[in-house]
Amino acid sequence: MNEKKKKEKIYELFNRSIEYVNEGKFDKGIECLNEIIGLEPDLAADIDLYSLRGVINKDKGDYKMAIKDYSLAIELCPNVDVHIERASLYIQEGEYDPAIADCNAALGIDPNNARAFSNRGCAYVGKDEYDKAIADFKTVLQIDPDDQDIREFLEKIYEAQEMIYEEQAKPGGSPNE
């Protein structure tokens, strides 16, 4: 296939993949992206096809495959958004340490990224490390004081902590519960 025909084919496949995804035909969209990667592997990094494939896999609910795609995207070209997206999937899968590592990597690139602090805070909640979660959520509010979701989440953490303290203060309450 000559270069002109190859470019036309790639353009057609890319547009078709978007159409399939918009129609909810995720597997067909992924097939088109896979065909592009087969035709022009170097293009995958240039236009972030692995990240796009990760988004499609996430949308269809295949988090394990989405994590693999995001990992390939990060390997080719690390960026904040992909680290944050992969972190959110790790959190949903209950894999908190890799989520924290991704958030730390994102913060290494963009130290004021509210989403990275927010995701890391959620991962800390998952690990029952509430002091670290609170610190991250407070940082989010310093960056974005109007983030009502984080404000409400922080209030719920404070309420839960208060309930734990009250339970522990009762006769026979355990300080380790």
Q: Give the integer Cα–Cα distance in Å for 100 and 80.
A: 13
The boundaries of the domain holding residue 144 are 78-177
Q: How many CA atoms lie within 13 A of 141 on its CB side?
A: 15
Decide which of 66, 86, 112 is a domain's last residue: 66
pLDDT band at 26 (very low <50, low <70, confident <90, very high): very high
Residue 176 scores a pLDDT above 70: no
Decide which of 18, 38, 66 is a domain's last residue: 66
Residue 174: per-residue pLDDT? 60
* CATH label of the domain that carries residue 154: 1.25.40.10
Does residue 72 sit within a domain?
no
DSSP 3-state helix, strand, coil percentages of the chain (rounded to 5)?
80, 0, 20
Q: In angstroms, how far is CA 97 from the centroid of its own chain?
A: 13
Q: What is the pLDDT of residues 46-59, one digit of tens each?
A: 778 999 999 999 99
The number of domains in the chain is 2
Beta carbons within 10 angstroms of residue 38's beta carbon: 10
Residue 162 scores a pLDDT above 80: yes
What's the mean pLDDT in 119-126?
96
The verdict on 56 and 95 lying in the same domain is no
Look at residue 94 and give its three-state secondary structure: coil
Asked whether the beta carbons of 173 and 167 are under 8 A apart, the reply is yes
**DSSP tag of 73:** H
